[in-house]
Amino acid sequence: MLPPWERPVIQMRRNFSDLRGSQVLPFYIVCDESDLMEPIGGIAAMNQALPDIHAEIASDPLISDICLIGLITFAETAEELMQLTNLRNVAAMPGLEARGPSKYGPVFTLLREVIERDVENLKFYGVKVIRPAVFFLTAGEPTDDPDWEDSYRSLMDKQAFRKYPNVIAFGVHGASASTIGKIGTVGAFIGGNGVAPADSLSEIMRSLTRSVTYSGPASTPTMVFPSTPTITTQVIIEST
């Protein structure tokens, strides 16, 4: 894994002509990098989990060709650390670092821009794009409440933004059920009481990996929603 202070954006390849006529499923991992993550061991847990995700998905050519992965983080600002790509083309995942207060508005604005760019780029090369999936992980409440909801509504506006994603939201530590429930459209989960937030995050990332690996191996790839993490005691929304 690249250390946080040496993490240039991993660029997406621009030519997808080799995937012409095939179907792909874009996955965006959206991680909290706010100061809330450091004292609960969240940054360390994520920096341990991301290489595992990379190894698991990149080891299967079928999965990695169909399920493309992007990594976006947020604190006071939002950053695209890894553009949507086949993980077999990535040597190492970027590292996360705690870097300020938590604001949701910038990350939902960036997500809309990134999804628009990626889907149009894939379609330009004749690739069939299945509705993108977003895994949103946070450890606390936004400091830009309620302004962030305008950015979220813009991302999820089915009339104005036809590329709107399916969103699965996970909250630990200080994240409230009401906030997580507003964000998750097909799944929303809160870490269990009495469970260390770092352990919750590790289990959530394992669940995410299973979701990706189960979604790809089919003639028509289909988003497979993660099963309820074993350490999660409160399920707010669960896809059926």
Residue ranges and CATH numbers for the domains of the chain are 14-238 (3.40.50.410)
Residue 6 has pLDDT above 70, yes or no: no
CA distance 114 to 164: 11
Contact 101, 143 (CB under 8 A): yes
Residue 138 has pLDDT above 60, yes or no: yes
Please state the rounded mean pLDDT for residues 135-149: 95
Q: Is the peptide bond between 146 and the residue preceding it cis, with omega within 30 degrees of 0?
A: yes
Element (H, E) at 133: strand 133-138
Residue with tokens 């990149």: 58
Residue 2 has pLDDT above 80, yes or no: no
Q: Which of 69-83, 137-151, 164-178 has the lowest mean pLDDT?
A: 164-178
Highest mean pLDDT among 6-20, 52-66, 130-144, 187-201: 130-144
Confidence (pLDDT) at 193 = 66
Confidence (pLDDT) at 223 = 56
Confidence (pLDDT) at 240 = 34
Confidence (pLDDT) at 186 = 85
Please state the rounded mean pLDDT for residues 222-236: 51
Residue 235 has pLDDT above 60, yes or no: no
What percent of the chain clears pLDDT 90, i.e. is strictly above it? 52
Confidence (pLDDT) at 11 = 61
Q: How confident is the model at residue 238 (pLDDT cuts 50, 70, 90)?
A: very low
Q: How confident is the model at residue 57 (pLDDT cuts 50, 70, 90)?
A: confident
- Measured over the CA atoms of residue 216, residue 63, residue 136 and residue 237, the dihedral's sign is positive
Q: Which two structure tokens, joined as six digits, stand for 231?
A: 């350490």
Q: Which two structure tokens, joined as six digits, stand for 20?
A: 């012409």
Residues paired with 123 in a beta bridge: none
147 C-beta neighbours (distance < 10 Å), count:
12
